[in-house]
Amino acid sequence: MPTFYDMGLSDPIIRATLNMGFEEPTPIQEQTIPFALKGTDVIGQAQTGTGKTAAFGIPLVEKMDVDVEVVQGLIVAPTRELAIQVAEELNKIGRFKHIRALPIYGGQDINYQIRALRNRPQIIVGTPGRLMDHMRRKTIRLQHVTMVIIDEADEMLNMGFIEDIENILREVPEQRQTLLFSATMPKPIQNLAQQFMHHPEFISIKNKEVTVPDTAQNYIEVQERQKFDVLCRLLDIQTPDLAIIFGRTKRRVDELCEALNTRGYSVEGLHGDLNQSKRDSVLKHFREGTTQILVATDVAARGLDIPGVTHIYNFDIPQDTEGYVHRIGRTGRAGKTGLAVTFVTPRELGQLKLIEQAIRKKIDRKPVPTLIEAIEGQQRLTVERLMKVVEEEDTLPYRELAEELLEENDSVSLLSAALKLLTKQPNVTPVNITEEAPLKTRKSRNIMARQQEYRKWDGERGFNKARRNRPKPAQKVNKY
Ligand X SMILES: Nc1ncnc2c1ncn2[C@@H]1O[C@H](COP(=O)(O)OP(=O)(O)OP(=O)(O)O)[C@@H](O)[C@H]1O
Position 363 contacts ligand X (CB under 6 A): no
Span interacting with ligand X, options 44-52, 192-200, 204-212, 413-421, rule CB under 6 A: 44-52
Interface residue with ligand X among 35, 52, 312, 450 (CB under 6 A) is: 52
Count CA atoms closer than 13 A to 376's CA, side-chain side.
5
Sort strands 338-344 and 309-314 into parallel, antiparallel or unpaired.
parallel
Nearest distance in Å: CB 93, ligand X:
10
Position 334 contacts ligand X (CB under 6 A): yes
Residues that bind Mg ion (CB under 5 A): 52, 303
Position 160 contacts ligand X (CB under 6 A): no
Instruction: Give burial (CB, 10 Å; 0-12/13-18/19+) of 435.
Output: exposed
Which of 296, 303, 321 lies closest to 245 in space, CA to CA? 296
Nearest distance in Å: CB 312, ligand X:
12
Query: CA 195 from chain center: how many Å?
Result: 27
Q: Which does 51 bind (CB under 5 to 8 A by kind): Mg ion, ligand X, none?
A: ligand X
Position 287 contacts ligand X (CB under 6 A): no
* Cβ–Cβ < 8 Å for 447, 188: yes
If the CB atoms of residues 164 and 305 are measured against ligand X, the closer one turns out to be 305
User: Maximum CA pair distance of the chain?
Assistant: 92
Q: How far is CA 124 from CA 112, 120, 155, in A?
A: 15, 10, 19
Position 303 contacts ligand X (CB under 6 A): yes
Which of 118, 53, 50 lies closest to 87 in space, CA to CA? 53
Interface residue with ligand X among 333, 355, 445, 454 (CB under 6 A) is: 333
Q: Which does 60 bind (CB under 5 to 8 A by kind): ligand X, Mg ion, none?
A: none
CA distance 118 to 255: 42
If the CB atoms of residues 26 and 113 are measured against ligand X, the closer one turns out to be 26
Position 186 contacts ligand X (CB under 6 A): no
If the CB atoms of residues 92 and 455 are measured against Mg ion, the closer one turns out to be 92
Interface residue with ligand X among 31, 45, 48, 314 (CB under 6 A) is: 48
Question: Phi, psi (5° rounding) for residue 219?
Answer: -135, 155
Position 190 contacts ligand X (CB under 6 A): no
The DSSP-derived string for 87-103 is: HHHHHHHTTTTT--EEE
Site for ligand X in 18-37 (CB under 6 A): 22, 25-26, 29
Interacting residue ranges for ligand X, rule: CB under 6 A: 22, 25-26, 29, 46, 48-54, 183, 303, 305, 329, 333-334
